[in-house]
């Protein structure tokens, strides 16, 4: 055992520990200290620090450091003095709870042992002392099971089996109907389980009990569940390292009807409403509430059942929130009319509640506006922007449960977490259906669209975890009987099998058979207000990536300050236009190409007018054609197959069906504008002309083949090869702007050139634009403003930023492409081949296509911004890659002084909030 | 006409003009001034400056500036004083030559007029004065033709017609047989030509003659020929802008047998030998020598014919070279026993002469060593390192392609790599002719004398591989249609069959039918000495890219200071190894893969030992496996065809030929180690097992398909996915080093990781290397030094250079890949699609895959060097991309402080010289 010189203690009394030092004491421990020190009635206890945990784990020793147990004993002595009880004493025994608690809340991840200190000698004392043999024996069997599970690693099922057999023998369904004798028998059976599972008798020595428990809690830090959780949530050692152990005097909510236990929130965590929220159970121990074995009552009923306690609880709730300036999620126990607070922590809540409480707490003066903005995780807002069930849908629910986490989802039923994961990997959407969930089901939550349990309340494990993930959850849907082994569930006389589709609505607890349409979410006034605050604070403007009127309208509603990226090729791809685009590609000469372009121009002009009007007077940035033109053609293989198929048809145009099929096929492929009447002559000729066209396409496709299309003939390279395409697009843009102007809409078109890598490319396009601009001004007799800019998505453009800024009035980082070429990763290839391995092995922390790679791509951006602004200090610079809507990336964009970020419509609110947060926390941001 | 305030004159007398100011006076004019001023006998004259030319061209005026003609007249007056002759005087006429001359020599690009000042009045005077009517009339008709052509734009043919008709009428073949009368008649006919072509009589006024001539010379600067020439040779305005006009008193080499005219070099420009070199004609005018109408005599014969003149000429030659400190190419005329020098300029010469004269002039003390090194264009050295076609051969090429790898070779055509190998084994010399080549053709490169492809550019696979092997290659010879299946190729209406002999010249891209003798290259002692001087001066070390013993040996002979890049995959591709590599790829599990690797390891070890020994004790840098593994497999299409073919065979194994073919095929594909005797049973089974293997390969090929292989699963990404491959390679390297050490060879292995883009990748490989290193040291009981480094070919690696330098001891820029990702140009796609257009339109000055893109890629390199050296000031940094052997790129590499460049063996001498030049001219180098 290594014994490094140790200057600070391992153990801290609740009376002394630093309530702010969550790293050392864990979140739970720090809060217990804090509450104790501000005078809240907390059962006395102490905390073993995370430092002790790490030292123990590092030494890989079997034993706890001897100094640690010395300190623990000293603190037990203090507890004995404070409570007047003695640990292990037969008559006046001190009973303890042992709980883990790391710096970050990891709900359900770590373990709890209650009633520690009971053994065959102290049990009779407890019976005598409480005069309640049933209570004492119940406490004892609970202790044996918890200790067996947590400290000795015996699975719950080993204990459930004898427990259930007794209930079955006695024909008892509710635990409350078990008698003291039953519990005695159960306790004995449990001791046998421990003996047979471990080969040793249950430890009688209370210090041995304590020591084993502490070791088990420490060890659980390296358990698979905990490690998985930390990986999933990207909890790094600097955020939480090791777990503390909280050792606290037991208080009992199950000593009689003047006892109760409950959990509460200072405000409603589902709606944010400012009313005390929670559930309680009379005569019960904490785990009964959480486990969902009995269905608890809402807290307002406490006012009837224990009026004084309700008053005290309200006061406690108030006190906690005012002190912590945050919604609190607390546990309490009432032992014989005395209210104890056992734990408090910042309340998890859904986004609706987070938004509403932020606004209201700020309005109440409890927190500042900045704090209000900072307490919302921007990603959470996504929940508010997700669809809910179509209220028009008239389908009747088949069963109803507690609305535990809002949102709606459909998917195939799976009955365990592993299956959920497998199905998800096969691309299936699934709903996890369980009697109740446990921490080890966590991967099932990640995999599933939503969770449905037949037991448990709104604070059950399932509810808490689902809420924290923003996934829909219905808990305690008692009308469902789940048979996990048979992989079926019964609802009335319906049997559901794995793979059947259901829909759940976490907002109201309804479960439906089959899939139900969803409708877009509503954007609450609270959120609007908060985001207005955000806009006032942020430096970054938030633009949207939108190619359609629909997307632009939505983005505008979400507060987009313009369009930062309109991809014109999306417009080319629309079904009625593609044939024109194909004609343009197949054109044998400039005249033919111009002909096709002349047909496309009014269509594009119309598109642009729509966008300009909905965004008026905000800027609309239009990117000229980018993708390689072979993307508009079918693949070689597809064409070969189609030709083969058509060739067959040609020779066998005989029966009605064949001909009909031919016609159908032809229509689908839009080669024939008008279908001749069935059987009309000319069927064969039509097929032949279709073949000819396909063959023409095939030749072109082969000619256009590229080894690395990502690095091929695209963007401005294309524009320079076929200047008439860009010319058409620029004309359509400026004509649209002119017409909008005439119709009284202020417009601000920004023309953006993709794939630029040399100054001369940009100059080349600029000349076209200036020429067309002059033409359009003359034709429409109007003065037209516009901006001309460059995508910065080619690495070389970053290096040439100083020169490009001589010509471009704005830059827009295309971080998708920039990331690909900075890493030399083809996204399509990387994500299928080696990226998973890279993430698994921590060679890359994040997928750089999702989160901006600040260290590499970010450096390129920083250089480009610096050099560009050196040429033109007023240079407008934005980002329009996918990462533009990602809060962490936004933080970096703010840091390097970008003017705007542009993201998809649903990310706009997230980006607005993130931009404000980035501004507010800029001083604390130091990227490598 | 604009008349800007003018402070400097337009016209300079030879006696005053600044002989150093070639920009102002043109090369010819400056030299005439210089020679005059150092006392060489130059016919008196003056120069009209390039400034006058530019002013005239800018004003777009019809007339010359009046100040100019005023100055010209003043200078004519001085000439008249100096010569005692009068311009336009009937009895004592001054005759002039008018010649253009810009700052850079553009031979044949600009025009000359002789005998200006003759007209119908002065002609009789000239006859009288010289007493030689024939001479005078000859001079007159020459003047009319030259003036007509140059000043009036009348084509030569118009004059040739009457000239030839007279000769025909008189049955005269040689001009020397024409009489004075003939010339009189010709002169009259010429005057008619001028009148009928211009509608005006020939100008009689001598000043009008002069003015028109000057205008014509000025105008020729913007003539098509001149503009084309400047574009072709990349002559920019800062190098030469406008032409000067040299006006000089006529002297005549054709006044009788005491007259002569000649051109000379101060040394032999073909061999460099220090003897006067040149040709002369007695009784002739300068143009007669150049025009080749009479065959001139070698200069040494002048010693017999005009001994005194030969002495004077020797003195002149000596004087010129000593004064200019450079081989001079001069023109002279002897008029009645008086030697005049008409012109001098630096002599053009071939590489052999350039090298020899540099060395000798330095040894003679005429120039310094630095000057000797600087006067050789490194690219020229290439001529010295490859066999070239016998210059005596007069054959015409049948087709032309891109000169992709220099050198000349003859051989029998073969159309695939296997045939090449078979033929080579039979002792045949072959030329591999393909549409394009692929990695699996590598054994064909080894077997062939040279490679010819009908597709692809100078950086196509064929070109790169051939260059790296120093074999001649012509790429993209589009005039050839290759039909691989029929084993024929068509060139126009000629069909070439396998076995037909052709000759290719990779220096100019010419393809000839039949065999043409070649001259072997000389690596002369002069060159060795010069390159040793270069090494002493240069900071940059020159390493080579070599994968084979042959290449390494050659590079070593050429002075490579080590191997900077050994591509291990080239070793994998060797025919007997490919099956093992394929087994490795197809391995179903690690054990199978390890099995294949265990067979490869001793082979690789052997390869490395060879390289270590030939380079001992210089460093050998080995790059771990880089290309995506699908490159080792045939294409999907090929496999499909092979399977189809085999399926056919399976069902029709009946005739002898089929079976033989099957056996042959099987042998080729190395699936069968032993061929059963013909007709042996089991043929069908063999086919079936071959099919099974092919199908396995097909599945793998499909699985490995990548959208953008350039950005795909390769380099270190592969090494991390299959660590056992890198582990094998590292072990082979270090075992080879250990064994060489034991055998007494000093070795310095450097292990290099390709495609690195994150620090952790490098760390990952470093751990493997350290582990294997420890193992090998133990196994061999030896202390082994090695270096560990990173390719810097991924953009992100440049941005992370500071962190990579914590792990890497050296960096090597892979500028091929770096250029691709910096530009987002796929080389294969760009060179076939848009790069030609880009170069044509001057969007890119150079192909960045040939010349390092200093402005973009160069910036990335500069950043990487800076940041890397900030971490580790001793960091060794080199470049191993193709551009590493390019002098302009080497200049940049020197500028940013690289430690070494690495290039293919034949580029090593070039690089050595370029490195010295870069050092010598660093002070004048300011890249943007």
Confidence grade of residue A443 (pLDDT, cut at 50, 70, 90):
confident
Query: How near does any CA of chain A get to the CA of B480, in Å?
Result: 19
Span A160-181, average pLDDT? 89
Provide the chain B residues 578-637 that lie in CB contact (below 8 A) with chain A: none
- Output helix, strand, coil percentages for chain A, rounded to the nearest 5: 50, 15, 35
ipTM over cut 0.90: no
What is the full DSSP assignment across A860-907? HHHHHHHHHHHH-TT-EEEE-SGGGG-HHHHHHHHHTT-SEEEEEGGG
- Integer Cα distance of B912 and B905 in angstroms: 11
Q: What is the pLDDT of residues A871-912, one digit of tens each?
A: 999 999 999 988 888 999 999 999 999 999 999 887 899 999
Overall pTM surpassing 0.90 (yes/no): no
- Integer Cα distance of A555 and A552 in angstroms: 5
CB-CB under 8 Å, A837 with B720: yes
- Which of A522-531, A647-656, B568-577 has the largest mean confidence? A522-531
Q: What is the pLDDT of residues A231-256, one digit of tens each?
A: 777 788 888 888 999 999 999 998 88
Contact B683, B660 (CB under 8 A): no
Q: Which of B709, B816, B829 to mutate to test the interface with A (most CBs of A within 10 A)?
A: B829
Nearest to A251 by CA among A77, A41, A13: A41
* Residue from the list B710, B755, B795 with its beta carbon closest to the beta carbon of A822: B795
**CB < 8 Å to B799, chain A:** 822, 855-857, 859-860
pLDDT at A652: 58
In chain A, the residue whose alpha carbon lies closest to the alpha carbon of B839 is: A760
**CB < 8 Å to A821, chain B:** 711, 795, 821-822, 824
pLDDT at A738: 97
- Integer Cα distance of A658 and A677 in angstroms: 14
pLDDT at A3: 47
In chain A, the residue whose alpha carbon lies closest to the alpha carbon of B716 is: A834
* Residue from the list B793, B799, B829 with its beta carbon closest to the beta carbon of A860: B799
**CA distances from residue A233 to A237, A345, A537, A754 in whole angstroms, order as listed:** 12, 19, 29, 36
Instruction: Categorise residue A449: left if φ over 0, alpha if ψ from -120 to 50, beta otherwise.
Output: alpha
pLDDT at A48 over 80: yes
pLDDT at A677: 43
Span A806-831, average pLDDT? 92
Q: What is the DSSP letter of B188?
A: H
Query: How near does any CA of chain B get to the CA of A762, in Å?
Result: 10
CB-CB under 8 Å, A764 with B838: no
**CA distances from residue B99 to B93, B246, B612, B658 in whole angstroms, order as listed:** 19, 5, 61, 76
Confidence grade of residue A179 (pLDDT, cut at 50, 70, 90):
very high
pLDDT at B445: 87
Pairing of strands A787-792, A748-753: parallel
**CB < 8 Å to B721, chain A:** 833-834, 837
**CB < 8 Å to B807, chain A:** none
The residues of A carrying an active-site annotation are 461, 880
CB-CB under 8 Å, A794 with B826: no
The HSE-up count of residue B480 (CA atoms within 13 Å, CB side) is 35
User: What is chain A's mean pLDDT, rounded?
Assistant: 88
Span A292-306, average pLDDT? 87
**CB < 8 Å to A844, chain B:** 758, 760
pLDDT at A679: 39
- Integer Cα distance of A53 and B140 in angstroms: 112
CB-CB under 8 Å, B822 with A711: no
Contact A119, A94 (CB under 8 A): no
**CB < 8 Å to A824, chain B:** 710-711, 755, 757, 793-796, 817, 821
CB-CB under 8 Å, B859 with A822: no
pLDDT at B690: 83
What is the full DSSP assignment across A603-617? HHHHHHHHHHHHHTT
pLDDT at B666: 57
* Residue from the list A707, A794, A860 with its beta carbon closest to the beta carbon of B709: A707
Torsion A322-A327-A329-A332 (CA) sign? positive
* Residue from the list A825, A843, A855 with its beta carbon closest to the beta carbon of B764: A843
Structure-block tokens of residue A101: 């608690």
Q: What is the pLDDT of residues A606-626, one digit of tens each?
A: 999 999 999 999 999 999 999
CB-CB under 8 Å, B842 with A760: yes
How many CB pairs lie under 8 A apart between chains A and B?
Answer: 180
- The parts of chain B modelled with pLDDT lower than 50 are 1-3, 654-657, 670, 672-680
pLDDT at B859: 96
- Integer Cα distance of B360 and B200 in angstroms: 58
Provide the chain B residues 742-801 that lie in CB contact (below 8 A) with chain A: 755, 757-758, 760-761, 764, 793-796, 799-800
Span A287-311, average pLDDT? 85
CB atoms within 10 A of CB B88: 18
Contact A751, A788 (CB under 8 A): yes
pLDDT at A224: 78
């Amino acid at each position: 055992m290594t014994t490094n010189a140790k200057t600070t203690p391992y153990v801290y009394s609740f009376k002394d520990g630093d309530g702010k030092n969550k790293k050392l004491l864990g979140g739970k421990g720090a809060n217990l200290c804090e509450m104790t020190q501000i005078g809240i009635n907390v059962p006395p206890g102490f905390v073993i620090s995370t430092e002790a945990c790490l030292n123990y784990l590092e030494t890989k020793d079997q034993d706890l450091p001897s100094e640690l147990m010395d300190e623990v004993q000293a603190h037990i002595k203090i507890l004995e003095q404070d409570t007047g009880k003695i640990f292990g004493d037969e008559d006046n025994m001190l009973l303890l709870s042992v709980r883990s608690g790391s710096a970050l809340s990891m709900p359900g991840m770590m373990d709890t042992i209650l009633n520690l200190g009971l053994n065959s000698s102290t049990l009779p004392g407890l019976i005598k002392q409480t005069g309640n043999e049933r209570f004492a024996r119940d406490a004892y069997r609970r202790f044996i099971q918890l200790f067996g599970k947590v400290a000795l690693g015996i699975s719950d099922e080993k204990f459930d089996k004898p427990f259930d057999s007794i209930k079955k023998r006695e024909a008892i369904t509710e635990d409350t109907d078990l008698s003291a004798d039953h519990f005695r028998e159960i306790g004995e059976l449990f001791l046998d389980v421990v003996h047979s599972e471990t080969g040793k008798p249950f430890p009688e020595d209370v210090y041995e009990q304590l020591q084993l428990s502490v070791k088990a809690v420490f060890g659980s830090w390296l358990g698979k569940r905990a490690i998985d959780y930390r990986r999933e949530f990207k909890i790094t050692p600097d955020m939480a390292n090791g777990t503390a152990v909280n050792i606290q005097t037991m208080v009992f909510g199950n000593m009689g009807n003047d006892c109760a236990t409950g959990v509460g929130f200072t405000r409603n965590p589902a709606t944010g409403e400012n009313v005390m929220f929670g559930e309680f159970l009379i005569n019960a121990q904490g785990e009964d509430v959480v486990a969902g074995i009995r269905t608890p009552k809402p807290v307002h009923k406490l006012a009837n059942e224990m009026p004084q306690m309700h008053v005290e609880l309200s006061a406690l709730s108030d006190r906690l929130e005012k002190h912590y300036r945050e919604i609190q999620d607390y546990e309490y126990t009432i032992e014989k009319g005395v209210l104890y607070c056992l734990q408090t922590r910042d309340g998890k809540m859904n986004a609706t509640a987070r938004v509403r409480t932020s606004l209201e707490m700020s309005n109440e003066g409890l927190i500042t506006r900045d704090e209000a903005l900072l307490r919302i995780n921007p990603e959470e807002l996504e929940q508010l922007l997700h669809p809910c069930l179509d209220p028009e849908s008239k389908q009747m629910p088949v069963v109803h449960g507690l609305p535990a986490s809002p949102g709606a989802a459909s998917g195939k039923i799976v009955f365990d977490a592993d299956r959920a994961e497998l199905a998800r990997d096969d691309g299936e959407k699934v709903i996890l259906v369980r009697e109740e969930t446990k921490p080890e089901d966590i991967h099932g939550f990640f995999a599933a669209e939503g969770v449905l349990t037949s037991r448990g309340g709104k604070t059950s494990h399932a509810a808490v975890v689902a809420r924290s993930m923003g996934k829909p959850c219905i808990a305690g849907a008692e009308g469902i009987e789940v048979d996990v082994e048979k992989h079926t569930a019964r609802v009335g006389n319906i049997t559901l099998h794995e793979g059947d589709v259901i829909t759940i609505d976490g907002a109201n607890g309804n479960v439906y058979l089959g899939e139900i349409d969803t409708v877009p979410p509503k954007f609450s006034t609270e959120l609007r207000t908060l985001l207005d605050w955000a806009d006032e604070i942020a430096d970054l403007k938030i633009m949207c990536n939108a190619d359609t009127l629909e997307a632009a309208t939505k983005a505008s509603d979400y507060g987009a300050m313009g369009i930062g990226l309109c991809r014109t090729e999306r417009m080319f791809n629309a079904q009625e236009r593609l044939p024109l685009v194909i004609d343009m590609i197949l054109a044998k000469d400039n005249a033919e190409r111009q002909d096709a372009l002349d047909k496309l121009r009014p269509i594009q002009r119309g598109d642009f007018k729509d966008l300009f009007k909905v965004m008026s007077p905000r800027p609309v940035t239009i990117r000229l054609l980018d993708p390689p033109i072979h993307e508009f053609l079918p693949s070689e293989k597809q064409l070969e197959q189609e030709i083969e198929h058509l060739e067959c048809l040609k020779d066998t145009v005989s029966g009605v069906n064949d001909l009909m099929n031919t016609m159908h096929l032809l229509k689908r492929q839009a080669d024939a504008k008008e279908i001749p009447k069935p059987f009309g002559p000319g069927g064969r000729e039509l097929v032949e002309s279709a073949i000819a066209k396909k063959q023409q396409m095939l030749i072109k496709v082969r000619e256009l083949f590229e080894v690395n299309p990502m690095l091929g003939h695209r963007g401005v390279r294309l524009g320079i090869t076929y200047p008439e395409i860009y010319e058409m697009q620029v004309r359509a843009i400026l004509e649209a702007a002119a017409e909008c102007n005439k119709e009284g809409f202020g417009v601000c078109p920004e023309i953006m050139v993709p794939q630029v890598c040399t100054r001369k490319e940009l100059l080349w396009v600029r000349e076209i634009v200036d020429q067309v601009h002059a033409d359009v001004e003359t034709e429409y007799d109007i003065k037209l403003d516009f901006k001309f800019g460059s995508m910065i998505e080619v690495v070389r453009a970053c290096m040439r930023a100083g020169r490009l800024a001589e010509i471009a009035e704005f830059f827009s980082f295309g971080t998708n492409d920039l990331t690909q070429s900075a890493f030399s990763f083809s996204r399509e290839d990387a994500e299928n081949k080696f990226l998973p391995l890279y993430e698994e092995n921590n060679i890359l922390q994040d997928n750089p296509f999702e989160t901006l790679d600040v260290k590499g791509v970010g450096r390129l951006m920083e250089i480009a911004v610096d050099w560009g602004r050196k040429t033109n200090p007023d240079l407008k610079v934005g980002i329009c890659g996918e990462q533009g809507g990602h809060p962490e990336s936004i933080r970096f964009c703010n840091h390097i002084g970008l003017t705007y970020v542009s993201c998809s419509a649903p990310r706009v609110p997230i980006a607005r909030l993130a931009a404000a947060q980035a501004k507010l926390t800029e001083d604390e941001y130091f990227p490598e």
